[in-house]
Structure 1
Amino acid sequence: MQVPIFTVDAFTNRPFCGNPAAVCLLENDLDEDLHQRIATEMNLSETAFIRKLHPTDDFTKSSRFGLRWFTPANEVPLCGHATLASAAVLFHIKKNPNSVLTFVTLSGELKTRQEKDHIVLDLPLYSTYPQELQEVEELIKAATGDMIVQDLRYSPDTKKLLVRLSDAYERSVLEELQVGAQRFLSAEKTGKVKGLILTLKGKPNGKDKGHDFYSRYFAPWYGVLEDPVTGSAHAVLSSYWSVADWERKKCLMWSLFHRYLKQSTSNVLYPPQKLQQLPVSVDHLSG
Structure 2
Amino acid sequence: MQIPIFTVDAFTSWSFSGNPAAVCLLENDLNEDLHQKIATEMNLSETAFVRKLHSMDDFTKSSCFGLRWFTPTNEVSLCGHATLAAAAVLFRIQKNTNSVLTFVTLSGELKARQAEDHIVLDLPLYVTYPQVFQEVKELIKAAVGDMVVQDLRYSPDTKKLLVRLSDAYERSVLEKLQVRAQDFLSAEKTGKVEGLILTLKGGSSGKHEGYDFYSRYFGPWNGVLEDPVTGSAHAVLGSYWSEQLGKKEMLAFQCSRRGGELKISLRNDGRVDIAGQIAIVLKGSLTF
TM-score class normalised by the smaller sequence: over 0.9
Q: 2:264 aligns with which of 266, 269, 275?
A: 269
CA apart distance, 1:286: 2.2
In the alignment, structure 1 residue 281 sits paired with structure 2 residue 279: no
Listed as ranges, the matches of 1:199-210 within 5 Å are 199-210=199-210
CA apart distance, 1:13: 1.3
TM-score, normalising length: structure 1: 0.94
CA distance change for structure 1 residues 14 and 208 in 2, over 3 Å: closer, same or farther?
closer
For 2:242 and 2:77, the matched residues in 1 are separated by 24
Asked if 2 retains the 8 angstrom alpha-carbon contact of 1:12 and 1:286, the reply is: no
Listed as ranges, the matches of 1:3-14 within 5 Å are 3-14=3-14
Q: Secondary structure at the match of 2:6?
A: strand
Q: Secondary structure at the match of 1:3?
A: strand
Report the counterpart of residue 237 of structure 1 in structure 2: 237
Report the counterpart of residue 253 of structure 2 in structure 1: 255
For 2:227 and 2:269, the matched residues in 1 are separated by 25
For 2:92 and 2:137, the matched residues in 1 are separated by 46
RMSD, aligned CA: 1.3
CA distance change for structure 1 residues 96 and 207 in 2, over 3 Å: closer, same or farther?
closer
The structure whose residues are more often strand, as a share, is: 2
CA apart distance, 1:174: 0.5
Report the residue type matching 1:97 in the other structure. T
Moved more, 30-39 or 53-62: 53-62
Report the residue type matching 2:276 in the other structure. V
CA distance change for structure 1 residues 280 and 125 in 2, over 3 Å: closer, same or farther?
same
Report the residue type matching 1:256 in the other structure. Q
Calculate percent identity across the aligned residue pairs: 73
CA apart distance, 1:189: 5.3
Moved more, 100-109 or 180-189: 180-189
CA apart distance, 1:116: 2.1
Listed as ranges, the matches of 1:20-169 within 5 Å are 20-169=20-169
Stretches of structure 2 that go unaligned for 5 or more consecutive residues are: 282-288
Asked if 2 retains the 8 angstrom alpha-carbon contact of 1:13 and 1:286, the reply is: no
For 1:103 and 1:10, the matched residues in 2 are separated by 17
For 2:65 and 2:278, the matched residues in 1 are separated by 22
Asked if 2 retains the 8 angstrom alpha-carbon contact of 1:256 and 1:266, the reply is: yes
Asked if 1 retains the 8 angstrom alpha-carbon contact of 2:162 and 2:198, the reply is: yes
Report the counterpart of residue 286 of structure 2 in structure 1: none
Asked if 2 retains the 8 angstrom alpha-carbon contact of 1:125 and 1:239, the reply is: yes
TM superposition outliers: structure 1 runs of 4+ over 3 Å: none
Give CA-to-partner distance per residue, 1:5-60, whole Å, 9 cap, x none: 11111111111111110001111111111100000000000000011111211111
Asked if 2 retains the 8 angstrom alpha-carbon contact of 1:65 and 1:103, the reply is: yes
Report the residue type matching 1:255 in the other structure. F
Report the residue type matching 1:170 in the other structure. E
Report the residue type matching 1:265 in the other structure. G
Moved more, 10-19 or 158-167: 10-19
For 2:49 and 2:20, the matched residues in 1 are separated by 14
Give CA-to-partner distance per residue, 1:241-263, whole Å, 9 cap, x none: 000111xx14311111113x3xx
CA apart distance, 1:271: 2.5
CA apart distance, 1:113: 0.7
CA distance change for structure 1 residues 49 and 191 in 2, over 3 Å: closer, same or farther?
farther
Q: Which has the higher contact order (CA 8 A, sep 6+)?
A: 2
Asked if 1 retains the 8 angstrom alpha-carbon contact of 2:136 and 2:190, the reply is: no
TM-score, normalising length: structure 2: 0.94
Moved more, 39-48 or 202-211: 202-211
CA apart distance, 1:270: 2.7
Q: Secondary structure at the match of 2:3?
A: coil
In the alignment, structure 1 residue 18 sits paired with structure 2 residue 13: no
Asked if 2 retains the 8 angstrom alpha-carbon contact of 1:124 and 1:278, the reply is: yes
Q: Secondary structure at the match of 2:40?
A: helix
Asked if 1 retains the 8 angstrom alpha-carbon contact of 2:8 and 2:278, the reply is: no
Stretches of structure 1 that go unaligned for 5 or more consecutive residues are: none
For 1:77 and 1:31, the matched residues in 2 are separated by 19
Asked if 2 retains the 8 angstrom alpha-carbon contact of 1:14 and 1:286, the reply is: no
In the alignment, structure 1 residue 198 sits paired with structure 2 residue 198: yes
For 2:116 and 2:127, the matched residues in 1 are separated by 31
